[in-house]
Amino acid sequence: MSSPPRRERSTFASKSLPLRRLRADSGAILAQDALSDLTEAEINSIVPPSPIYKIVMTGGPCGGKTTCLERLSNYLRERGFEVITCPEAFTLMVSNGMPFDYLGAVAGMPTIVQDTVMDIQIGLEDGFERLLRARGKPGVLLCDRGLMDGAAYMSEEEWEKLIKKRDVDSVSELREGRYNAVYHMVTAAEGAEQFYTLENNEVRTETPELARQLDHRTRKAWVGHPNLKIFDNSTSFEKKLQRVVEEMSRLVGLPHCLERVTTKFLVRGEPDLDLFPEDVTYQIFEVEKVCFSDWCRFELDLSCIVG
């Protein structure tokens, strides 16, 4: 059994710990005066000695998420990783007694339901992540859907109202600020229609057409995450699962056969966004790069568009 790769440790002031969300490449060292009253598990939960990766598995109905979660869990455990799967919050609510007619029972109920889904999802994710950190070994948290998925089931106005109510300054806090990668499994209703079924999920009620719509809305919700990967149905389902495993291997530093090239374009001027096709989703963001050399320091501000 091969051992997972470990990352080099870094340092930062202990007073910043409550405000800093440690990512997979973090490995800070606490000041000595902060260690005396803490157990090993408590120290690990604050400053994990090994990388912890947090991955969202999302997609349209009948895309293969459940099967893929099981495949990834077994694959990573066999290679020395601690793995916990975070269940989908909405499914938990329905399977524990919340009927679907709650969504239309009272005006404004869909927003309350999605707000509750987000509360449950945050609690589950943060709790499981804390356990993985405390364990002190390389770990992976596989999330069955993530916080941005709610945007696919609400209008833009309802979603904006919800995140404003929750004092979210930017959706990046719910997206790249929270997850290392997002793996989107395209619904079988798009490209593998003969395999689309409602029989393997008691919560699933969508027609193939609705499944395709929800799939596209979910993809749109996650546009902007730098590590969003789309797994379509251009191959067999087994090959689809293998492609996900290859991406995961690349992310966590395991041997893999995947070759991927990121293409960037240098444009002569600012593009006219009014000319973009309506079906092209894009995000605009600012990038600041600080460059050092032996003789100078300079900053470069860039406006970037990703779609």
* Amino acid letter for position 304: C
Q: CB neighbours (10 Å) of residue 296?
A: 7
Cβ atoms of 186 and 234 closer than 8 Å: no
**Dihedral sign (CA 226, 232, 236, 238):** positive
Q: Give pLDDT, residue 23.
A: 38
pTM of the model: 0.76
- Report the range of poorest mean pLDDT among 33-37, 58-62, 207-211, 269-273: 33-37
Q: List beta partners, residue 244.
A: none
Share of the chain above pLDDT 70, in %: 76
Query: How far is it, in rounded angstroms, from Cα 157 to Cα 281?
Result: 17
pLDDT digits (tens, 9 = 90+) for 142-190: 999 999 999 999 999 999 999 999 999 999 999 999 999 999 999 999 9
Q: Give pLDDT, residue 306.
A: 55
Tokens of 146: 């993530």
> Strand, helix or coil at 297?
strand
Cβ atoms of 283 and 305 closer than 8 Å: yes
Measured at the CA of 8, the angle between CA 289 and CA 82, to 5 degrees, comes to: 110
Which one, of 130, 123, 119, lies nearest residue 22 by Cα? 130
208 vs 256, residue with greater confidence: 208
275 vs 20, residue with greater confidence: 275
Query: How many Å is the Cα radius of gyration of the chain?
Result: 21
Q: Give pLDDT, residue 33.
A: 57
pLDDT digits (tens, 9 = 90+) for 254-266: 987 755 556 667 7
Q: How confident is the model at residue 108 (pLDDT cuts 50, 70, 90)?
A: confident
Query: How far is it, in rounded angstroms, from Cα 202 to Cα 118?
Result: 21
